[in-house]
Amino acid sequence: MGVGKTTIGKNLAEKLNMPFIDTDLFIENRYRGKITDIFVEEGEEKFRRIEQKILQEIIHRWGNVVVSTGGGTPCFFHNMKLMNTSGITVYLKISTELLIERLINMKCVRPLIKDKSPEEIKCFVADNLVKREPFYSQASIIFSINKLTMDEIITKLILKI
């Protein structure tokens, strides 16, 4: 969450001349609502099932495509294993401090943090990184984006892929 998966994914797909799919936007179009609203109305469990269903559909329907998932997607229902067996996965790693700063500045559009204070966001990030790291660390490529420009990120990612 907040690392720049969508922006980086779009740029990478353009450079690779491949289609790009953001699972959050895919869900919003399919279910005709904002992720925040779907999350609140359906609850986290149902939302995570929707994510899984969409991820499976994308994998089975498209060939070579760059996909940006929600930050929690790899952590549920063996989604990380599914993604790893279906293609190259990339964990875009960022410093905790920079991530906290980004999330505080965009909290109104993030359902898991929209009602949290800056201090609560710091705790949320720390807790979630501890919980999610075992899943994220299973990615094919672990790539630190700290202090890199978009061009540097894309160039280095292409070399790693």
Whole-number mean pLDDT of the chain? Answer: 93
Q: What's the CA gap between 29 and 61, in Å, rounded?
A: 17
Q: Class of 5-148 per CATH? A: alpha beta
Which whole number is the average pLDDT over 24-41?
92
Listed in sequence order, the residues at least 6 apart from 94 whose beta carbon sits closer than 8 Å to its beta carbon are 3, 4, 102, 144, 145, 146
118-133 pLDDT per residue, tens: 899 899 889 989 999 9
Nearest 10 degrees: Cα torsion 64, 66, 68, 72: 40
Which whole number is the average pLDDT over 131-158?
96
- Quick one: 64 exposed, middle or buried, by C-beta within 10 A (0-12, 13-18, 19+)? exposed
This prediction has a pTM of: 0.89
Cβ atoms 136, 74 nearer than 8 A: yes
60-106 pLDDT per residue, tens: 999 899 999 998 999 999 999 999 999 999 999 999 999 888 888 88
44-63 pLDDT per residue, tens: 999 999 999 999 999 999 98
Domain boundaries defined on the chain: 5-148
H helical segments located in the chain: 5-16, 23-31, 35-42, 44-61, 79-86, 96-105, 118-136, 150-160
